[in-house]
Chains A and B, each alone.
Chain A
Amino acid sequence: MATELNRVERQTPPDDEMVSIFVMGKEYRVPDALTIMKAIEYAGYHFIRGCGCRGGACGACATVYRTADNYRIKVGLACQTLIEPGMHVTQIPFYPANKAIYDVSEAEPTVEEVLKHYPEIARCLCCEVCTRACPQDLEVMYYIQAALRGDVKEVSRLSFECIMCGLCVSRCPAELMHYNVAILCRRLYARYGMKRAEHLANRVREIEEGKFDEELDELVRMDEKDLVRAYESRDFEEA
């Protein structure tokens, strides 16, 4: 136990490699060059929420921060953003947002449909604060504007990389729930606007007709060694 502790102590960087950051207003000395997420953990916090993939893809670790001598509110994903000396960070794992319940197969890809579930989008002031808040650099204001004219295709295009972190929601003076609007539009577009993929339908039919059952059964019967060999000698499709 003692040796473990000693090892940790020896790993602590020299003081000139430590910086001060403020987590929810309280100062901590943490090693420079950490991500916000690691710095918060270093400071002793244990994540129950606000952490997921640690790879910038899940949107769980939304964080707002300010850097020293700059009035602007900045935002980022805690797992992707490096700390800066003197920064203030606060995590926002979830910002309240209601989710409309609908059956896409009974919906229509129209502005009326979007407004039925999220009528408040008409309150958008075009302040662009949402766009500035988006860690994915999406043009959030423009996708809300596209939703407002029922252009679900454009909403899909502009919001495709939304990770539903909710930072836009936390900043909007019109109190919109952007990402929920976006996902409604993407669903409508996927259901009514996009062409059905023929190859996918064919493949589903083949699976249902049992075309691959035999191969699968064979895999199930293999022992581990054969399985590894089969995996290593599998066909690669040309890139």
Chain B
Amino acid sequence: MKTYYYPGCTLPDKARDFDTSARACCELLGLELEEMERWVCCGSAFKLDHKNIMQHLAPIRNLAEVHKEGGRLMTLCVFCYNSLKRANYAFLAEPDKHEVINDFIESDYDGKVPVVHLLEMLKDEVGFEALAEKVKRPLGGLRVAPFYGCLLLRPQEEIGFEDPENPTVMEKLFEALGAEVVSYPHRLECCGSYLSLKDRDHTTSMVTRVLESAVEAGANAIVTSCPMCNFNFEFFGGELVARDTIHTFYFTELLALALGADRKLCGLEQHETDVDRLIDEALAAPATAAAGSETAGSGTSGARASGDQAPDARNG
């Protein structure tokens, strides 16, 4: 089945790093992608009201476009993923709406175009063992805190890709890449999302709670699959960001790096922190988890990971 890549509005612009690095990853992993020739907004935040068909036109139009070609849709931004996948779910759940929507957008969509996230493809199609074998530059020296946020996994019955209460996909991914995976209690929380537009104080406190918890557990990198989380972490992270205590990455940036992609193709450009320095140090470090090493590049990061603070996910 042909895989059509849906970039969404943010990846060609504000999250170019995500886009560039993901393309490099797919290339190196032999995952064939074709960017959709035409696409529109994903509908952005999914409207909780299933009945308001007007708000489903955008996501369904994208799916209908893929349906015409025959294939599936792959996306990276979790807003897009959540919105497209849930609109698809709602479409299937309400067959009486099919005709109304199809009549209006002049298509014959059947609700059956699969929507996948690159993380799903890594887990189910590449496999982490095979992935580990493809690693050219192990990420020793990186102490990675995976951050899932709200939209990648929830609601489970509509997304159904991992257990939203105890996901392991990013932990396994970064173990395969030779990084040390840090376990911390806030990996499933909200980054503040669009609250950052309205209430900076509140966003700052939500972001700080997450970042502090990751740093206390020893992380020097927090990894997401969401442009919104990245934005909030970098712009509301205060001192932790200003002093390069913790760096924010899209998972694909580090994956591309580990797979040996040309550094220019790994993204790594739209960052508030000095990621180049961190990465130079990380790549120089030994391949295995480098607990306790002094690579964070900051005198302020208080706690350090202790070797036995392994995440639960490792056993799961």
Contacts and interface: CB of A to CB of B under 8 A. Distances in A.
Interface stretch (A36-44, A49-57, A119-127, A182-190): A119-127
A155 to B, nearest CB: 13
B13 A125 contact: no
A151 B54 contact: no
A143 to B, nearest CB: 11
A125 B12 contact: no
Contacts of B40: 126, 141-142, 145
Nearest to B42: A126
A193 interface: no
Interface residues of B, number: 15
Interface residues of A, number: 14
A149 interface: yes
Contacts of A141: 40
Contact of B57 (A111, A127, A145): A127
B54 A127 contact: yes
A173 B58 CA distance: 14
Interface in A7-42: none
Contact of A142 (B38, B43, B58): B38
B12 A126 contact: no
Contacts of A149: 9-10, 12-13
A145 B41 contact: yes
A64 B153 CA distance: 47
Interface string A101-138: 00000000001000000000000111110000000000
B12 A151 contact: yes
A149 B13 CA distance: 7
A148 interface: yes
Most chain A beta-carbon neighbours within 10 Å: one of B10, B58, B105:
B58
A127 B38 contact: no
Contacts of B57: 125-127
A28 B54 CA distance: 39
Most buried by B among A127, A142, A149: A149
A148 B105 contact: no
Given A145-B41, A148-B41, A173-B54, A126 B61 contact: yes
Contacts of A124: 41, 58
Contacts of A111: 13
A128 B10 CA distance: 21
B168 interface: no
A151 B38 CA distance: 14
Interface in A137-158: 141-142, 145, 148-151
Contacts of B55: 125
A193 B285 CA distance: 43
Contacts of A126: 40-41, 43, 57-58, 61
Interface in B99-126: 104-105
Q: Which of B10, B43, B54, B55 has its CB near the most chain A CB atoms (within 10 A)?
A: B54
Nearest to B106: A128
Q: Top 6 nearest A-B pairs by Cβ distance?
A: A126-B58, A149-B9, A126-B40, A145-B40, A126-B57, A126-B61
11 contacts: A111-B13, A124-B58, A125-B54, A125-B55, A128-B61, A128-B105, A142-B40, A145-B9, A148-B41, A149-B12, A149-B13
Interface of A: 111, 124-128, 141-142, 145, 148-151, 173
Given A145-B40, A148-B9, 5 more contacts: A124-B41, A126-B40, A127-B54, A127-B57, A149-B9
